[in-house]
């Protein structure tokens, strides 16, 4: 019986080591996960920005309000529950600026190294117009 116990301990150790490398190898080569989103204020005035993020089951996972100074940025780290997902996930981002302008967009985030860029008062390069709230997916290098 003692011989089987030793084999079981060795097997459990090997499985633990394999799991460790499965989780940590991506971080070793690409670094830590990207933030979930970054808000960029391109306006010369500061703004209050409320961001609510919903998961695939329409459950709110983030509901925060941020004060951005003129031409300032804010980065929101991923909640720990989202850091280890490797498959594409769809989230709904509801962004409200100064309690007046709201934009709601569904975004598919391909992996842990993608984030949502939220731009306040940025220029639309196709039309040349200033857009109060614009959101897009960005990939970190």
What global pTM score does this model have? 0.75
DSSP strand E in 16-100: where?
A: 37-41, 47-54, 60-68, 73-76, 89-97
Task: Please report which residue ranges of 31-108 form alpha helices under DSSP H.
Answer: none
- Give, in order, the Cα–Cα distances in Å from 123 to each of 30, 38, 46, 99: 31, 17, 17, 22
- Per-residue pLDDT of 55-87, as tens digits, reads 989 999 999 999 999 999 999 998 877 766 666
141 or 66: which leads in pLDDT: 66
């Amino acid at each position: 019986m003692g011989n089987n116990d030793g084999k079981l301990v060795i097997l459990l150790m090997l499985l633990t080591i394999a799991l460790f490398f499965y989780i940590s190898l991506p971080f070793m080569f690409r670094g830590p996960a990207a933030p979930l989103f970054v808000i960029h204020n391109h306006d010369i005035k500061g703004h209050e920005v409320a961001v609510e993020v919903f998961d695939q089951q329409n459950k709110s996972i983030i509901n925060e309000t941020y004060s951005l100074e003129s031409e300032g940025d804010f980065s929101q780290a991923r909640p720990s529950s989202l850091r280890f997902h490797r498959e594409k996930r769809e989230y709904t981002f509801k962004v409200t600026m100064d309690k007046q302008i709201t934009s709601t967009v569904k975004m598919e985030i391909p992996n842990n190294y993608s984030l949502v860029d939220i731009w306040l008062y940025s220029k639309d390069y196709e039309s040349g117009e200033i857009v109060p709230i614009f959101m897009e997916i960005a990939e970190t290098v």
